[in-house]
Amino acid sequence: MKVTAAAAGTTIRRPPAWILALVWTLTWTFTLWALIAPRGLLARERRGIHLGVIPISNFSSDAGYTLGVLSQRFDYGEGIEPAPGARPFQSLLTLQATYATLGPRDAWLSYEAFLDRSLDPLGWRVAFDAYAMESEYQRYYGLGPDTVRLSSLESEGFYYYDRRTYLLSGAIRKRVPSLAGVDLQLSAAQVATRSDPGSRTESQYEQDFGAGALSQTYTQVSLKGIWERRNSEFIPTRGSYLMASLGGAPAAGWSRLDLDVRRYFEILPARSLWLASQLRYTGTSEDTPLQEKARLGSLGTFRGVALNRYLSNHSASLRNELRSIWLSGSPFGFPLKIGSGVFIDAGRIAPEASGLSQSPTRLSWGFALFGSYFTDDFLGSADFGFSRGERSMYLRLGHAF
C-alpha cells in the first residue's frame, strides 16, 4: 500500500480489490467465535446464548481502511425457528468501535429485546442506542442533482469537512393485529452535532456554509409503521417488508418522511437462487439539517457512487439484486455458506418532490460476494459497484438490503 499526502487531504492507493476481499475474508473466517449453549457444548441450533467477537478489518470507498472490533450477544431462549413475521431473537446486545483512515472514529452500544419470553410476535420489543462519532473526512459535494465531483479536488480535501455527532435514543415497538398486523414503533433521540471546515482553508462546505462552526442540538421523534413478513431479518429469501416513518424535530421546525418497500422472490429453493428488490423514498423539509437530508450515494442508498454524492430534499431509488448461495458445508462442525449476487441500482434526487420526474436517472451496477460461518445471523459481504466515471467497494457485515 502506498500512501501520499496532499495539500489538505489524503489520497490512498489501495491494493487490487481481490486482495482486499481475500484478506478480509480470511480475517473474518478465522476469528475467535464462541457459541455457548445451555448444555455447555458448541451449538449449531439457534438456541440459548450465542456470543461472538470479531475484529473489524475492511475497506470501503466511502471511509478508506477501517479497523475496530465488533462483539454481539444473541439470546435465542429455548429456540427460535425463522418464520414469516417471527421474532429473530429474544435479545441482542451489540458493542462496536471503529477507526477509519478516511472516515469516522466512532463507538456504538445497542440493546434490543422482547419484553416477553415467548415466541409470540405480538409482544413488546424495545431498543436502546448510544452513539458517538467524530470525523475529519465528512463528505459534501453540494446540494442538488447536478453537483460535480473532481478527483483532483477530492485529493486536496475540497469535498471534506469536520463533524462530530453524539446520540442517545430509545424505541418501543409492538404489532397491532387491528392494523393488518403492522408493527408500530415510537422512538425518540437526543442528538448533538458540530460541523466546521476544519483545517481546510477552502472547501465546498466552506463556500456554502461559511468558515464558522455550526452546532445543533435537537430532540428527534418518529412514528414508524413496519409490516414484516420476511422469512428472516438477516438473510431473507422470500416475503415482504414495508416501512413508513414520519419524524423530525418539532422544536427545530423540520420533518422527514421515509418509505421503504422490499420484496424477496424465491426462484429456486434452499437459497439456491432468489431476487431481492427495494423501492425507497425520502422527503425532507427545507430546514432539515445536512446530515438528515435525502441522499443518493453509499451502500445504504445507491451503490457505485460516493457517500453523500447527491444531497437534496427528495430522493427515490429502485434496487434489484439477484442472489445465490452456491457452496455450503460444515467444516470443523460449523455451518458454512458462500454465495454471490449481481445488482442494478437506479435513483433520482431533486429539491422538490415534483422535480423527481424531471431529474436525471442515476444508474449503478455491480456484484456482491457474501458468506456466513458459525451461524446464519452473522453474514459477511463484499460489494463492488460501478457508475459512469465512478466506482465503489464495500466490505461489511450483512446484506445491503
Please check the confidence at residue 303 and state whether its pLDDT lies above 70.
Answer: yes
Work out whether the CA dihedral 39, 77, 262, 302 comes out positive or negative.
Answer: negative
Residue 382 identity = A
Q: Which residue segment(s) compose the domain that 87 sits in? A: 2-397
Distance in angstroms (rounded) separating the CA atoms of residues 375 and 364: 31
How many other C-beta atoms are found inside a 10 Å radius of the C-beta of residue 196? 19
Per-residue pLDDT band at 47 (split at 50, 70, 90): confident
SS3 category, 132 = strand
Phi-psi region of 337 (alpha: psi -120 to 50; beta: other; left: phi over 0): beta
How many other C-beta atoms are found inside a 10 Å radius of the C-beta of residue 72? 19
Model confidence, pTM: 0.81
pLDDT in tens, 278-288: 999 999 999 99
129, 66, 125: which is closest to 99 by C-alpha?
66
Structural domains counted in the chain: 1
pLDDT at 108: 96
Please check the confidence at residue 58 and state whether its pLDDT lies above 80.
Answer: no
SS3 category, 283 = strand
Per-residue pLDDT band at 335 (split at 50, 70, 90): confident
3-state secondary structure 229-276: EECCCCCCCCEEEEEEEEEEECCCCEEEEEEEEEEEEEEECCCCEEEE
pLDDT at 295: 94
pLDDT in tens, 119-131: 666 779 999 999 9
Rounded to whole angstroms, the maximal C-alpha distance in the chain is 63
C-alpha distance across the termini of the chain, in Å: 31
Per-residue pLDDT band at 256 (split at 50, 70, 90): very high
CATH code of residue 32: 2.40.160.50
Please check whether residue 333 is in contact with residue 372, taking contact to mean a CB–CB distance below 8 angstroms: no
Residue 329 identity = G
> CA geometry: angle at 76 spanning 261 and 241, to 5°?
5
